[in-house]
Structure 1
């Protein structure tokens, strides 16, 4: 009975955690471009704040949780602060006002992704639960929460207004109170934290891996592909908005968030296929599959439309699962197998820094610039934009296949 209660507590935590993110991540770009009339570069730079925050905040918050404050309390505090920032964002309509607030919001939110795992692993360990077996069914509810938030924002007509920020704020406040009052206690581990320096916490000690040619090439390509990870989240909604005059009654225009949520549904399915593909083809080929899937993700957007080309939009959502999961999970597994145990945690942190940190920053600014290049009088010619992104992913796939040398049989063992 106690384990069932714990599973429910952690399920609610994961559901709310990603509900908050799903409330604005996919639809905020459309709100900024369609309603606030921000330029592509401005939208891209605002989304790049997630990368900036990911460079240092998870490490800093990790130190605080290790040394000073219970992880569940810190999780709640950050979400309550985030709720206040989201309310402030609802009253902001200028780029100059929104940018610093979004940076502060991401500084609060991005480290909570790691904190929810910390809380879950700690509580499940104390309850003698099998984390490897029992955590995935709990974590999948986070994706369900993300999808539910997207649907709520879409079906309530909030995707082009600041109402989406109110929805996120309410969810963040609920999670903040829930975390402080209802989650199991996860106190600081002061004995272990004394051994952990700021260099260790930020993953900087893992930069020694760049001395190995194989690892250096892997991390460089992780950064380059990381630049592509958030592009469709940033500009997917504005792209579908562009069909409003020609296909005003179409499903894609009327319910863009519902359509885009198929990407997250695909993600949950492709996770289940990873063991088969890794066992049959090995990590290098699986990662190349991911890169080719990114080519298709962007290319299908380029030829798709809400009318006769609707099937291409659907296919783009389907391949997203392979594009996102095959790279993130196989890449994480490669790092796990190829690094010494003494820096394994730092190496995983470095992988995240290269993809969700530096890569996301580059992708945010560069994609915004590309969109602006093909925008005139607030109208964007999206087809060449998506083809440029597809070409970028194709070049990465070709170069990766040439320069990344790896004996697949070593990992299969």
Structure 2
């Protein structure tokens, strides 16, 4: 691998998540205040992420793994995304906004798997090096949030009233256009040769990655990925309203502690994988999920605010030790000619099926525990806490760590 590939991959990852963080965090606020959307409509808008993730594996399987270079497909998708983002910036009615944001997510979600595949293809040791590339994505998300709050103040009360929050979509459109062009200058990542006899309809659709589910461990990992995203949806959907309702000032700024934690702990993933293996690293993430929600259930503003801050800071372990570890595990498990399809399959499991179910469950639980003064947040947060513990126990019993796992071998080779 050429040394120049790593800076290029870092820029790619930075822009990939800068684009997402530039508009997704403030989406609910924009819809409620500027398009007068109902709660149900806001839920529909957030669910487009899941629908895009469900469609993503088919786009990846049909195109990236079969016919065209991955970096070129990435470029085309982001150029299309730039155009759609500009339409969202111009939209003044939810009836126009919703189909466009749905189209955008169908275009954007496949790029999450593509940037991973491009990175893995140009790293000598993905287990050791991928976290150093992926961390730039978290930095990009943080920078986007800081620009919105401090550089432009688009999320201030006066700016929201004036409709300035829509400029977040314009910022995302500009960044998407830049990444679209930049992608064509990334290291060439051609499709891998297809094995003889593999040109069936299923393989052309990228469904050959489904054969990975025949392996016991990967099947258990896949199911765990779906299930763990149900409690994750509680955090994405309820954390900000929860902190605001109980009187935590500058709650949005305080939530960036989670992204800072994610950025720092991502660098620890290779260490944990090398020393403890896939199973214990994934279990640690699940345990952190349960602890986070328990802290949210027990904590409150005032003397117990420290519980909430620790719960937010645990986001780094929750996300990195499960999602980044899972991406590495998937790359090590998949055969070379359908690695992009395999990444798309995991995207389907997590951001697709799991989050889609999770947003629905979180909404129902939140409505169930609505009280005259707001919400019974302790009861709400205990639901994902208990659910996370159940997933942790089942995973620990069912997933069998292989003594000579590909991950440990790769790490050992990289450090030698």
What corresponds to 1:169 in structure 2? 173
Q: 1:406 to 1:135 in 2, by over 3 A?
A: closer
TM-score, scaled to structure 2: 0.79
What corresponds to 1:146 in structure 2? 141
Instruction: State how far apart, in whole Å, the 1-side matches of 2:376 and 2:90 are.
Output: 31
What corresponds to 1:237 in structure 2? 240
What corresponds to 2:203 in structure 1? 200
- C-alpha contact (below 8 Å) 1:302/1:387 kept by paired residues: yes
Q: 1:177 to 1:339 in 2, by over 3 A?
A: closer
- C-alpha contact (below 8 Å) 1:263/1:321 kept by paired residues: yes
**Which of 286, 294, 300 is the equivalent residue of 2:289?**
294
Instruction: State how far apart, in whole Å, the 2-side matches of 1:234 and 1:157 are.
Output: 23
Instruction: State how far apart, in whole Å, the 1-side matches of 2:118 and 2:13 are.
Output: 11
**Superposition map of 1:74-85 within 5 A:** 74-85=73-84
Instruction: State how far apart, in whole Å, the 1-side matches of 2:38 and 2:363 are.
Output: 8
Return 222-231 or 286-295, whichever deviates more.
222-231
Instruction: State how far apart, in whole Å, the 2-side matches of 1:67 and 1:381 are.
Output: 51
- C-alpha contact (below 8 Å) 2:49/2:352 kept by paired residues: yes
- C-alpha contact (below 8 Å) 2:54/2:353 kept by paired residues: yes
- 3-state SS of paired residue (2:23): coil
What corresponds to 2:51 in structure 1? 52
Instruction: State how far apart, in whole Å, the 2-side matches of 1:407 and 1:8 are.
Output: 34
1:306, distance to aligned residue in structure 2 (A): 5.0
What corresponds to 1:113 in structure 2? 112
1:375, distance to aligned residue in structure 2 (A): 4.3
Instruction: State how far apart, in whole Å, the 1-side matches of 2:364 and 2:5 are.
Output: 47
- 3-state SS of paired residue (1:262): helix
Instruction: State how far apart, in whole Å, the 1-side matches of 2:216 and 2:61 are.
Output: 30
**Superposition map of 1:358-377 within 5 A:** 358-375=353-370
Instruction: State how far apart, in whole Å, the 1-side matches of 2:206 and 2:72 are.
Output: 24
**Superposition map of 1:283-362 within 5 A:** 283-305=278-300, 307-332=302-327, 334-335=329-330, 346-362=341-357
- C-alpha contact (below 8 Å) 2:64/2:73 kept by paired residues: yes
Instruction: State how far apart, in whole Å, the 2-side matches of 1:348 and 1:338 are.
Output: 11
The answer to whether structure 1 residue 98 and structure 2 residue 101 are counterparts is no
1:149, distance to aligned residue in structure 2 (A): 0.5
**Which of 265, 286, 306 is the equivalent residue of 2:260?**
265
What corresponds to 1:406 in structure 2? 400
Say how many residue pairs are matched.
397
What corresponds to 2:226 in structure 1? 223
1:5, distance to aligned residue in structure 2 (A): 5.5
- C-alpha contact (below 8 Å) 2:230/2:358 kept by paired residues: yes
- C-alpha contact (below 8 Å) 1:87/1:166 kept by paired residues: yes
Gaps of 5+ in 2: 410-416
Instruction: State how far apart, in whole Å, the 1-side matches of 2:404 and 2:128 are.
Output: 25
What corresponds to 1:158 in structure 2? 154
Instruction: State how far apart, in whole Å, the 1-side matches of 2:353 and 2:103 are.
Output: 18
TM-score, scaled to structure 1: 0.79
**Superposition map of 1:380-395 within 5 A:** 380-395=375-390
The answer to whether structure 1 residue 179 and structure 2 residue 183 are counterparts is yes
Question: What per-residue deviation string (whole Å, max 9, x for no partner) do you get for residues 101-127 of structure 1?
Answer: 2211111111222333455566x58xx
- C-alpha contact (below 8 Å) 1:25/1:233 kept by paired residues: no
Instruction: State how far apart, in whole Å, the 2-side matches of 1:268 and 1:5 are.
Output: 22
Question: What per-residue deviation string (whole Å, max 9, x for no partner) do you get for residues 27-76 of structure 1?
Answer: 32344456656555543443222222122334424533456655444333
Instruction: State how far apart, in whole Å, the 2-side matches of 1:91 and 1:344 are.
Output: 38
Return 303-312 or 317-326, whichever deviates more.
303-312
Instruction: State how far apart, in whole Å, the 2-side matches of 1:365 and 1:319 are.
Output: 24
Q: 1:71 to 1:273 in 2, by over 3 A?
A: closer
C-alpha RMSD of the superposition: 3.7
Instruction: State how far apart, in whole Å, the 1-side matches of 2:330 and 2:291 are.
Output: 26
